[in-house]
Every structure is written in structure tokens, then in C-alpha cells.
Amino acid sequence: MGDIFLDVCEIFYSLQGEGPYVGTPSVFLRLGGCKPPYCPFCDTKYAWSEFRKYSLSKLINEIKNYRCKNIVITGGEPFIQWNAGLDKLVGHLTSFCSFIQFETSGKVEIPEGIPGKIVCSPKYLEGKWQFVENNFSRCDYFKFIADKGNLSIILQFIKQNQIPKQKIYIMPFGTTREQQLDIMPFVFEFCMRYGFKMSPRLHILCFGDKRGI
């Protein structure tokens, strides 16, 4: 496979905790690095700088060892490594994984024709949405982290960009169980009012901010 290396933060087996595939047993490949501006409320800030080099062969062997056919490629921001070797890795994964999901913020342009599902969580930072416009047509689903103060901003983004309701999942903000439970009623009522789907964040409800879950 040549000397191709990716910056990897962690690999672990868990249940998908949020979004359209919540509850699905999956192998998580968290790639290192992100693109500024950084999200101050990110619950995986360690992925910005805590990573090490993995060869493609080592990555593929570790993923295979979990004996799970579902994989979630997340970050950080995974697509900053697309041309650095992630494209090659995905080509190999298609030979033994039955389902590939990508989690992205949409800050980096998503290549066309990627095998798998793209789940995007756009971020409103520094007074604007940090999102590449071409990505609207390339995302299969959008998930938004909502608190009591940003519901109107989320709604405006959805309406202005005519994102279909069936693609939208709204999640409660918070990195602790208590924060999640405090916001949930507001998210519940918001989703009922506008016809959006609500997603829990199961890993936080179960384990708080524990890593590797």
C-alpha cells in the first residue's frame, strides 16, 4: 500500500450515539486535526492535537479486528485528510465494510461521489455559518446542536438553504447528562413545531464526556 500515513486520534467500537443511525453498532475511526475557526463547545477538542501517524495497512488491520461491517469516519474534520490518503483508505474499506458513514462540519469541501453516507453538523461561529456552499448537495443528513439561544439561527439556516425536513436532526447541546436533560424539552418542542426529527446523544446520556464511547 506504499508509505501512506493518516493522522489518527482513536479507533474504538461503540454504538452510534446521534443522528439518523443512532443505536447502530459501529467501528469509529476518529481522525486528527480540524479546520479553524474551532468550535468552543466541541466535545472532542482532544482530536485537534492528540493524534499519531497510522499506516494504511495498520489501520485496515485494526478495523478488521473488530469484526463489524459498519464504520464511522469522524474527527476533528476528516475531509482535511482526503487527498492525504483518506481516499485510498476508503477505497479499501469498501471491500469489507457494508456501511460507511462520514461525520463532518462542512467547513471543508466534500468530494463528489464518495461511497457512503455524509452526515453534516454545520457550526455557527464568529457570527456566521462556517460551511462550504457546494456541500449542500453532497450531504445526506444534517444534524444541529441546539441550545435555548440558537434555535432561531438554526431555523433561519434551514429555511434559507431549503434543506428538506427529512434530512434534519436536532440534538440537545451539552457534554454532561445534566446539560442534555435541561435542553431536551426545548429541542422536543422545537422539533414538534417545525416537523424536524429529534436525536438524543446517547453516549453522553449514558457515559457523560467519557472518551472512546
pLDDT score, position 41: 87
Q: How many domains is the chain partitioned into structurally? A: 1
Q: Long-range contact list for 9-15, CB < 8 A, 24+ apart?
A: 9/44, 9/46, 9/47, 9/50, 9/51, 9/75, 9/76, 10/47, 10/211, 10/212, 11/59, 11/62, 11/63, 12/212, 12/213, 13/66, 13/68, 14/203, 14/212, 14/213, 15/202, 15/203
In a domain, 212, yes or no: no
**pTM, entire model:** 0.95
Residue ranges, the chain, pLDDT below 70 = 1-2
- Write the CATH number for 170: 3.20.20.70
Structural domain including 153 reads 5-207
pLDDT score, position 1: 52
In a domain, 21, yes or no: yes
Give tens-digit pLDDT for 23-34: 999 999 999 999
In a domain, 213, yes or no: no
